[in-house]
Amino acid sequence: MTPIRQAARTARAGHELLQASGDVIARRLEIVAEGFRDPLKADLLEMSLMGSEKVEALTASAAAGLNGAVAMAATTAAAAARETAAVQGALHAVLAARTPAEAVLAQGSWATAAMSRALSDGWAFGATMLALQAETLAPIHAAAVANAKRLKK
């Protein structure tokens, strides 16, 4: 999926989450009020779900975020190692140059390749962040939308 489609899909999910959350909060406030009016007829199952569902969804969201952060840290470390090796290779080429022109060419070649890699890495990092955003939102979105459907009168 393209980053633009990913961002649009996540934005729609965020909008759905806001709408569903409002619907769920409104209905659950009614359920709580009904429970206060007549405690013997209180919907205890629904009241118990109010906390446990949030914990489940937030735990799943946090796990997705943590896994994504670990993967991004590993990718960043690999890029840093790659760039360190590239700098060492460029320095060796500059020092081994027989003429100033060869040294400038080696340095320019490294700089051009480094900028290309930085641009590519930047786009990849952005796409990864968009995917991570979607993955961390998904459990919360799923729970809220499911609750809104279930609680709809």
Number of helical (H) and strand (E) elements in the chain, helices listed first = 3, 0
Give the span between the Cα atoms of 110 and 118, in whole angstroms.
12
What DSSP string runs through 29-43? HHHHHHHHH-GGG--
pLDDT bin (cut points 50, 70, 90) of residue 1 is confident
pLDDT digit string, tens, across residues 81-122: 999 999 999 999 999 999 999 999 999 999 999 999 999 999
Give the span between the Cα atoms of 125 and 131, in whole angstroms.
10
Q: Which tokens is 83 given?
A: 């760039």
> To which H or E segment does residue 44 belong?
helix 44-96
Give the span between the Cα atoms of 114 and 95, in whole angstroms.
19
On whether the CB atoms of residues 21 and 144 are closer than 8 A, the answer is yes
pLDDT digit string, tens, across residues 22-67: 999 999 999 999 999 999 999 998 988 888 999 999 999 999 999 9
Rounded to two decimals, the pTM is: 0.78
Dihedral (CA of 111, 116, 121, 126) sign? positive
